[in-house]
Amino acid sequence: MSAMASTFDIIVRGGWIVTPEGLRREDLAIADGRVAARLANLAGDASQVIDASGSYVFPGFIDAHVHFNEPGRADWEGLGSGSAALAAGGGTCFFDMPLNSEPPVLDAVRFHEKEALAREKSHTDFALWGGLTPANLDRLAELRDAGAIGLKAFMSESGIASFERVDEPSLRAGMQAAAQLGLIVAVHAEDNSLAARHTAEKKPRLATRARISHRARSRWNSLRFARRCRLRRRPAAHCTSCT
């Protein structure tokens, strides 16, 4: 990659750049938020020069699905601590889900509320998902205009009372609106009624099977320990099996 200008915003000098072809000892220049040049002994100036001698220079990764639960549930995982952990692992950007904040991101007001907190607290770049529920089908356009990168819907119970699951008609209407708005839709696609019915059918049998499995395991462990005791010529009655 050749330089198109001699003045850059940032130059990273002397590092080992990790590329698909392998390691390269080169300088890397950044202008307007993009990689502008990558050369050994790159000529030019920058307002910031980073000495990366002895270090590896990796592309950052984007985590497109995180739950940094602000406002309302920062004790679960907040924007500050979550983005710091992301940065420590090499991440440079996250896309935050809309449901675990309280209230959830279902309209432009709540979107901008979370956006302001992220600008204040985040250590990395970020983007925000908006929610898709039966209650906000008329607010999807304003979420798009506010900057939502897409919409998230649950066909099953979300676990958050204020973030309703979609039924088939509301999901269809939401997806049609999203298509017109140019938004993608991410769906937790477990059918709620189907999951509930199969859970009710299977739960008694699974509980019985678990009890049988526990008894069989306990019996096997007792036999195994008794055999060990016999091999060691110790009284079997002195052996204890913990399961």
In this structure, the answer to whether residues 65 and 86 fall within a common structural domain is yes
Q: Are residues 68 and 183 in the same domain?
A: yes
How much of the chain, in percent, has pLDDT values that exceed 70?
A: 82
Tokens at 55, concatenated? 């270090």
Query: In this structure, are residues 91 and 124 in contact, taking their beta carbons and an 8 Å threshold?
Result: yes
If asked whether residues 162 and 104 sit together in one domain, one would say yes
Task: Identify the residue with better confidence: 58 or 242.
Answer: 58
pTM of the model: 0.70
Q: What is the DSSP string of 135-181?
A: GGGGGHHHHHHHT--EEEEESS--S-TTSPPP-HHHHHHHHHHHHHH
Do 53 and 22 belong together in one domain?
Answer: yes
What's the whole-number mean pLDDT along residues 82-109? 94
96 DSSP β-pair partners = 66, 128
Number of compact structural domains in the chain: 3
Q: Is residue 165 part of a domain?
A: yes
The CATH number covering residue 82 comes to: 3.20.20.140
Q: Which residues constitute the domain of residue 47?
A: 7-57
| Whole-number pLDDT of residue 216 | 52
| 88 and 177 belong to one structural domain | yes
